[in-house]
Every structure is written in structure tokens, then in C-alpha cells.
């Protein structure tokens, strides 16, 4: 394989115009630089004429670089390319033929030349480049054929200050660069759904902070570690995540003692949302994010979600609200959280779950039940917010 020194980064520009375009590109460059810290070698990331390039300044591992770039939202395609000086068209022909020869040992294939001129003073126009270069490649390799409609190889030639030659595009994750859309507070449990929800919201450019409600000794240290591990997988896409671990045991016990058990999950969720909201406001997050999906469990009926929502005045984003479980599982496999999520450590909700939880809670009934915890709950919420353990996940 060719020892590529450069990668052309493709990103979607639709809807990203004017000033926003610079913000988008600058955030993308910054996130690319950051992601490449995970790969051995030295790299330069440059923005030039509406293009972003990654140049390897030292030896590097190709797979590591592709892996790093595949985690950067905003990238739609990664094109390993060679960049050559303009020494006339005959010289370019030689270089393109050498490229094709090295890149495709098996010439029994089809191709098409797709050229663009960013520089209009080049002596040939793009139509002429396509024709003449196509002919040169055909002459050099008797087995190769042109297919203008459905070529196996799209041979791109971009005439810029220098000339870019590439023909492979490795798909990127798409989305918007993280950091272009504010911050959200993810309620991250050890399950399958919430890490996927975090990934999806980060994909829209949203920076993440997370909160996990821990209930020792009902949930183990290992259950907490599982959440840290999940946060790490999400952070590979979203960038660093500040994980707030809330000690929820006293609150949970208090609700368990005072309130009807069939309402426990609803009331507990309402308190979780309130604590998450306070942490969000304290840390500049603009909304909450959860892994809820309509009808998945009793606390995720539309009635339950409405009652839970009622306890916060923040927007609650639920990226997987209309997803089937299998669709969520598919994403969790793709982002490598599935194997961690399915480890068997209990989370707090399974420990205290009632046999027959309400599925259509009434807000007035719930508020009436909450009178029984009115004495101490506000104080306990404050205490929980003020004693969070912060784990920086990177």
C-alpha cells in the first residue's frame, strides 16, 4: 500500500454558512488535533481553501489514524491522498499512473477520472483533464476499463496550489463538531440506552457532562466502574466528560420508607431529574439527556414521562424516544458500549423496583405522595448536589 503522507477530510457544509462555517471548521480542526493525540506520530492539521488536511510529519500507524478520525463528529469522509507539485500535465500523468499502479495491483477493474480546478489558470479545463488523464491510464494498463456511470474507482484529481490525487473515501461518523452547540447533562446509567443517547446528542455538536446516581451498598463499586467505562466509550466521540457521581442511597431509602412502593420509580426519577437540573445549571448545561424510549418500561409511558418532566423546568432531550430496542442495540454495538452495558451489575432501579409499578401516574396523586417526603427532601437534594464526586473521564 502507498505510504500516504496526507489525508483530505471531507465534511458536509450544507446549512453551515457565513460566520457559522468558520466556527464549524475551527471546532472540527481542534477536535481532529485532539483525536490524533491517541495516535502515535506527529501531525499537522491545516485548513486551506475550504478544505481540511491532516499531514503526517513523522512515521505513523495508518489504522490508528483512521480509527482516531472515525470518532470525530463533523467528518463525513477520510481520503488518504497524495499531494504533488504542479510540474506540467505530462508529469502529472506519470504520477497518476504510478499512483494507480501502486494502489490497485489488480487492474481488472473500472474507473473514472473526476477532476476539479480550484485554479482556473491551469492550461486544461476539467473536461480536458478527465479525457486526457483517462486516456493515459487506459494506455498504461490494458486490463482497466472506463465506467462513467458506476466506476469501482473514482480517481479524483484536484488542481489547487498543489495537486491532490485520491480515490478512496473511508466514511466518517457524520454529525456536527462537538463544541458547536452548547452543553447538556446526560443522565448516564449502566444500561444500554443512555450511552447511546449521549452519543447521539454529542453527534449534533453538543458537549457532554454526565450524572450517575449511585446507591451503595445496593449498587457495587463495580457498577460504578461500569458507568465510568461507558462514559469513556462515549468520550471517544464526545471529548472529555465530567462525570458527577451522586450518592443517592439516603434519598432512595427515604422515598422507599415514606412513599407507596408502586410510585417509587416515578418519585425517584422526579428527584433524579431535579438533582440533574441543579447540576446542569451549576455547570452551564442547557438541557438534560436521557435514554428513555416510549413504552420500554412502566416509567417510560407517555403518562410517566409527563409526570417526571413536570419536576424540571429544563428541556429534557431523549434522542432514542422513538427507537425500537434493537435499533438502540445496533448503535451500542457500533459505538462499542454494548458489551459493557450488558455486564450483569445491578443498577439502583432494579434493586428497589416494585412488583406492580404505576404505568399511568396522575400528577396530583404523585404530588400528594410527595408530601410525605416534603420535610427533608429539599435539604437532601442540596446535600446530594454539594457532595458529588467528580470523575474526569477522557
Query: Over the range 373-389, which residues count as b (16 or more CB within 10 Å of their CB) and which as e?
Result: beeebeebbeebbeebe
Residue 239 contacts Mg ion per CB under 5 A: no
Q: Give min distance, CB of 262 to ligand ATP, in A.
A: 15
Q: Give min distance, CB of 178 to Mg ion, in A.
A: 25
CA dist 237 and 178 (Å) reads 9
What are 339's three cell numbers? 458489551
Decide: helix, strand or coil at residue 309: helix
Residue 287 contacts ligand ATP per CB under 6 A: no
Residue 195 contacts Mg ion per CB under 5 A: no
User: By rule CB under 6 A, what string of x and - marks binding of each residue 311-350 to ligand ATP?
Assistant: ------------------------------------xxx-
Which of 189, 265, 290, 311: binder of Mg ion (CB under 5 A)? 189
- What are residue 261's phi and psi, to 5 degrees? -65, -30
Return the number of the residue (192 or 264) whose C-beta is nearest ligand ATP.
192
What are 47's three cell numbers? 485548513
Task: Tell me which stretch binds Mg ion (CB under 5 A): 47-55, 74-82, 84-92, 184-192.
Answer: 184-192
Residues numbered 161-190 forming contacts with ligand ATP, rule: CB under 6 A: 187-189
What are 99's three cell numbers? 499512483
- What are residue 135's phi and psi, to 5 degrees? -65, -40
CA dist 196 and 27 (Å) reads 23
Residues ≥6 apart with Cβ < 8 Å to 382: none
Q: Give the end-to-end CA distance of the chain in Å, rounded to a whole number.
A: 33
Return the number of the residue (115 or 189) whose C-beta is nearest Mg ion.
189
Of the candidates 334, 302, 335, 332, the one whose C-alpha atom is nearest the C-alpha of residue 318 is 302
**Could you give the count of Cα atoms lying within 13 Å of 69 in the half-sphere of its Cβ?**
29
Q: Give min distance, CB of 22 to ligand ATP, in A.
A: 34
Residue 219 contacts Mg ion per CB under 5 A: no
Residues numbered 185-204 forming contacts with ligand ATP, rule: CB under 6 A: 187-189, 191-194
Q: Give min distance, CB of 231 to ligand ATP, in A.
A: 11
Q: Give min distance, CB of 362 to Mg ion, in A.
A: 24
CA dist 61 and 46 (Å) reads 20
Return the number of the residue (16 or 202) whose C-beta is nearest ligand ATP.
202
Residue 298 contacts Mg ion per CB under 5 A: no
Which of 294, 297, 353, 391: binder of ligand ATP (CB under 6 A)? 297
User: Could you identify the residue written with the cell 499531514?
Assistant: 55
CA dist 338 and 378 (Å) reads 36
Residue 212 contacts ligand ATP per CB under 6 A: yes
How many residues touch ligand ATP (CB under 6 A)? 20
**Residue numbers at the binding site for Mg ion (CB under 5 A):** 189, 191
**Residue numbers at the binding site for ligand ATP (CB under 6 A):** 187-189, 191-194, 211-213, 290-292, 296-297, 299-300, 347-349
Amino acid at each position: 500500500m502507498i505510504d500516504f503522507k496526507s489525508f483530505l477530510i471531507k465534511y458536509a457544509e450544507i446549512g453551515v454558512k457565513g460566520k457559522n462555517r468558520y466556527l464549524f471548521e475551527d471546532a472540527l480542526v481542534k477536535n481532529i488535533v485532539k483525536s490524533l493525540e491517541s495516535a502515535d506520530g506527529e501531525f499537522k492539521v491545516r485548513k486551506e481553501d475550504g478544505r481540511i488536511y491532516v499531514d503526517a510529519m513523522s512515521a505513523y500507524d495508518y489504522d490508528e489514524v483512521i480509527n482516531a478520525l472515525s470518532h470525530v463528529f463533523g467528518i463525513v469522509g477520510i481520503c488518504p491522498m497524495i499531494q504533488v507539485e504542479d510540474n506540467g500535465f505530462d508529469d502529472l500523468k506519470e504520477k497518476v499512473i504510478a499512483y494507480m499502479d501502486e494502489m490497485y495491483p489488480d487492474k481488472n477493474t473500472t474507473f473514472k477520472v473526476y477532476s476539479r480546478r480550484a485554479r482556473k489558470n491551469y492550461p486544461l479545463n476539467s473536461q480536458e483533464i478527465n479525457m486526457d488523464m483517462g486516456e493515459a491510464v487506459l494506455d498504461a494498463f490494458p486490463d482497466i476499463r472506463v465506467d462513467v456511470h458506476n466506476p469501482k474507482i473514482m480517481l479524483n484529481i484536484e488542481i489547487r496550489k498543489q495537486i491532490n490525487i485520491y480515490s478512496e473515501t473511508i466514511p466518517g461518523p457524520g454529525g456536527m463538531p462537538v463544541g458547536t452547540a452548547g452543553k447538556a447533562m446526560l443522565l448516564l446509567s449502566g444500561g444500554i440506552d443512555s450511552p447511546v443517547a449521549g452519543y447521539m446528542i454529542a453527534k449534533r455538536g453538543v458537549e457532554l457532562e454526565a450524572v450517575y446516581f449511585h446507591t451503595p451498598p445496593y449498587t457495587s463499586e463495580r457498577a460504578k466502574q461500569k458507568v465510568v467505562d461507558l462514559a469513556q466509550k462515549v468520550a471517544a466521540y464526545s471529548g472529555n466528560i465530567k462525570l458527577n457521581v451522586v450518592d443517592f442511597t439516603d434519598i432512595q431509602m427515604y422515598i422507599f420508607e415514606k412513599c407507596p412502593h408502586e410510585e417509587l420509580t416515578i418519585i425517584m426519577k422526579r428527584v433524579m431529574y431535579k438533582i440533574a437540573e441543579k447540576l446542569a445549571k451549576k455547570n452551564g448545561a442547557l438541557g438534560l439527556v436521557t435514554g428513555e424510549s416510549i413504552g420500554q418500561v412502566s416509567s417510560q409511558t407517555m403518562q410517566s414521562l409527563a409526570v417526571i418532566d413536570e419536576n424540571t423546568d429544563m428541556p429534557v432531550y431523549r434522542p432514542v424516544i422513538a427507537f425500537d430496542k434493537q435499533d438502540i442495540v445496533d448503535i451500542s454495538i457500533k459505538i462499542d458500549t454494548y458489551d459493557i452495558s450488558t455486564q450483569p451489575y445491578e443498577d439502583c432501579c432494579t434493586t428497589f423496583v416494585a412488583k406492580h409499578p404505576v404505568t399511568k401516574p396522575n400528577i396530583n396523586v404523585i404530588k400528594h405522595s410527595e408530601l410525605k417526603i416534603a420535610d427533608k427532601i429539599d435539604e437532601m437534594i442540596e446535600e446530594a448536589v454539594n457532595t458529588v464526586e467528580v470523575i474526569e473521564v477522557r
